[in-house]
Chains A and B, each alone.
Chain A
């Protein structure tokens, strides 16, 4: 099996395994430890299942104090730590190393406080993304960032990856919706940033923490913004005879001064799989669809949908359907949100996450198609069109010798195209282990060195989530 290079496990840690586990159990009572082979197997991979590695042990702490005690012990004993939420990372972000303790935050999943006046909720970070919205829904509020994995993924994972979702075009991604954090530093010290107000004094450490992929600190609690639900939210399906026409339509909508809540794109292969899976009512005779959602009052929604449809008419619109009921809206979104799962039932896939400037969309799609053809893979495209965040899914067969390695190579070429077109390697899934070695295509040595210096401020010995984000050789540049 293909594997990105890993660091050699620390022999001093490996040989003391029994002693370490004994000490940890003694020092940190209110924690579940998983040490047997069978139990640890659950944690050997995340949603990037191609990569696997058994950790030394797994800790499931129940409180910030317990996390702090684990971190203090690991600090004193030079043991690496990999933080984990639900393990839905698509970039191998939660992949353990052999000599690391996995600190899995999922038991810490309580809603601590809902504050309607200040429109915030305070939670333990192991709470799932959807559970936050569910807890505030009876009061008419929701938590905006909505990754498709929201049923399973934790807020901690969202914070570490700065996750996005379909509705981020209007409401922003995770970083725009976090106001406070409780963090455990690598040596076990606990710090708090921000709170229930809109900004914090001094440097924007919150902005730095969000998206730092578990490499700077462990998040145990957060204060998030909650937003009042709109009066009405309504999606519209638009079908086009080509991906180019759909792409041009997106640019025209935004150019006309309309920023919908969401603009999602699917190409023909994706449409067929999702329709088959979810019976969402997607048209099957078009090359591409857009799901455009708008919000507001009845009158406003009707007006916006009309304006958008008019724009689409100028782009070879082939099919138009406005949702007529809550059920229909739910079905339209279910198709989109279950896309990865539906495709996963048919084939192994490798999900790319590159971003491109919107004006380069036709060119990007063309080059993705060419690359996949050259490598002999089918590809399905599903993505957040409003912000140019592409998700080409490369379909491969894990049982065929070589296919994973070739799929990885094809994926790398696609991401390089994104960078070449003025975009970036990852819009929401994170660098993890998957894209670590591609970082020099986007960043110069000086760019990477400045980031790594910042890492060293928080984690001087590089014990947190090792071997991720930066190429292994890069540390020597420091």
Chain B
């Protein structure tokens, strides 16, 4: 049977709707524009609630670096408005839809914060959660509430906005989000080093991040992955590619790029991309373009950069994989061979020796239903997670099981 579809137009209607479902104990699937439905464990519900009607940009003050928008507002609409004003979302929201079979740039701003995934600039400018200033939301009891506000600094009470970021709609339905926006850098430049062995490449990235040159992107693509980039000349390169990005005012970018070249003069096979070519390269990384073979599971691993190369080497012993490192090695995207559990057990067994955690970002629904998509939590943390869920949504009606069973 098709689930009932609701797209309430006001917060009051949404609150009434959720109250009704809570009283009946009937779960609902929470979605924005539906571009990320394939992320997380599949949810089976009698009803769907979409935020698509909350689609207005309600506040934009460029000189205060702040923007508020209804949660169903398309990300593309927000990015276009910001662009017209020379600003951007500095955390470079990770472009999940193409990974899941959709189109680049699809989806709502609510989805961006509900999944909480950040792009390459995270290493310099912070994550999605670092740019959220406030939210309005309706919890699983049908109560409308707000947290935070619209100003840059705010420690008035607990920071529930951060708690809701990345909670995948399991705690509340976001209705409006207020975020910090920042000036768009005038220039972007990328240094590419070819054929640097993996461990040395990660070391290079870490050294660059530890320099005063404000590197805003630090990635490494294993040999063969460049074929999946959109830049034609780069597609011809079969070797590994190690990339550093600097951004800012023209003169500063030129200076920093020159300094980095000097610092890494020992690595002689090098190219510099600037302007649109540089931007296109990072927009490819933002959607892990080289790892989009639909049939193969995709993992996201978060770990310490200095352990990343050893971790991938250890995984390679038993798992068929391709790796793209971002965040100086701290975020690893792994495309693996298809197995009955997408390698979940084996991958996490090995990861346990290195520290960090893994999320299964792309896999068949059947696998996402049976394997642990999100990293299993230690018992005490799981208890806290369940209790927090109950404090927002005691009847357990919002996206039940999307992250963890029983949450």
Partners in one complex: yes
* Residues of chain A at the chain B interface (Cβ within 8 Å): 115-119, 140-141, 161-162, 164, 168, 172-173, 175-176, 189, 191, 193, 195-205, 207-208, 210-212, 216, 228-231, 251-252, 254-255, 257-259, 296-297, 299-300, 303-304, 355-359, 384, 386-389, 422-431, 435, 439, 442-444, 446-451, 453-458, 469
A446 contacts B145, C-beta separation under 8 Å = yes
Whether B262 is near chain A, meaning CB under 8 Å from some CB there, is: no
B199 to chain A, nearest CB (A): 12
B160 near A454 (CB under 8 angstroms)? yes
Contact (A255, B62) CB under 8 Å given A203-B167, A431-B157: yes
Which residues of chain A are near B126, meaning CB under 8 Å? 172, 176
B343-387 interface with A by 8 A CB criterion: 355-357, 359, 374-375, 377-378, 380-381, 384-385, 387
For A387, give its contact among B151, B251, B388 (CB under 8 Å). B151
Q: Are B145 and A450 in contact (CB under 8 A)?
A: yes
Q: Are B158 and A255 in contact (CB under 8 A)?
A: no
User: In the bound complex, what is the Cα–Cα distance between A259 and B180 (angstroms)?
Assistant: 13
Q: Which of B34-42, B232-240, B267-275, B302-310 is the contact stretch?
A: B302-310
Out of A203, A357, A446, name the residue touching B64 (CB < 8 Å): A357
Give the residue among A141, A216, A229, A450 with the most B Cβ atoms within 10 A. A450
Distance in angstroms from A439 CB to nearest chain B CB is 7
Partner of A450, one of B154, B159, B305, B392: B392
A199→B151 CA distance, assembly (Å): 24
The digit string for B113-140, where 1 denotes a CB below 8 A from any CB of A, is 0001000001100110110000000010
Q: Given A198-B127, A205-B381, A455-B158, are A228 and B212 also a contact pair (CB < 8 Å)?
A: yes
Among A162, A303, A427, A455, which residue has its beta carbon within 8 angstroms of that of B151? A427
CB B51 to nearest CB in A, in angstroms, measures: 19
Given A173-B153, A211-B159, A450-B392, also A254-B65 (CB < 8 A): yes
Q: B157 touching A197 by the CB < 8 A rule?
A: no
Q: How large is the interface on B (under 10, 10 to 19, 20 to 34, 35 or more residues)?
A: 35 or more
Expressed in whole angstroms, the Cα–Cα distance for A300 and B251 within the complex equals: 7
Given contacts A197-B355, A198-B330, A254-B65, contact A424 B160 (CB under 8 A): no
Q: In the complex, how many angstroms separate the beta carbon of B79 from the nearest chain A beta carbon?
A: 17
Check B156–A426 contact: CB distance below 8 A. Answer: yes
Given A202-B404, A355-B151, output 10 extra A-B contacts at Cβ < 8 Å: A175-B159, A176-B126, A191-B381, A195-B304, A198-B331, A203-B171, A228-B212, A444-B145, A450-B160, A454-B163
Pairwise interchain contact A257-B183, C-beta atoms closer than 8 A: yes
State whether the Cβ of B391 lies closer than 8 Å to any Cβ in chain A: yes
**How many residue pairs at the A-B interface have CB separations less than 8 Å?**
242
B360 to chain A, nearest CB (A): 12
Inter-chain CA distance A431–B150, complex, in Å, is 18
State whether B209 touches A422 (Cβ < 8 A): no
Checking B86, B255, B357 against A257 with a beta-carbon cut-off of 8 angstroms, the contacting residue is B86
User: Is B166 located at the chain interface by the 8 A CB criterion?
Assistant: yes
A212 to B160, CA, bound (A): 10
Q: Give bound CA distance, A355 to B150, whole Å.
A: 10
Q: Please state if A389 and B210 are interface contacts (CB–CB under 8 Å).
A: no
B210 touches A197 (CB 8 A): no
Q: By the criterion CB–CB under 8 Å, are A195 and B355 in contact?
A: yes
Measured between beta carbons, the chain B residues less than 8 angstroms from A449 are 143, 145
- Please tell me if B200 contacts chain A, counting CB pairs below 8 Å: no
Supposing A117-B210, A196-B355, A197-B330 touch, asked if A202 and B159 sit within 8 A by C-beta, the answer is no
Report Cα–Cα, A164/B154, bound state, in Å.
10
* CA distance in complex: A453, B147 (Å): 14
Which B residues touch A297, using CB under 8 A? Answer: 252, 255-256, 259
- Assembly CA distance A51 to B303 (angstroms): 45
| Cβ-defined partner of A358 (8 Å) among B63, B127, B158 | B63
CA distance A367 to B153 in the complex (A): 21
CB of B144 within 8 Å of the partner chain: yes
Of B64, B130, B165, B378, which is within 8 A of A359 by CB? B64
Given contacts A199-B127, A228-B212, A424-B151, contact A446 B306 (CB under 8 A): no
Is B159 within 8 A of A389, CB to CB? no
Is there an interface contact between B155 and A457, defined as CB atoms closer than 8 Å?
no
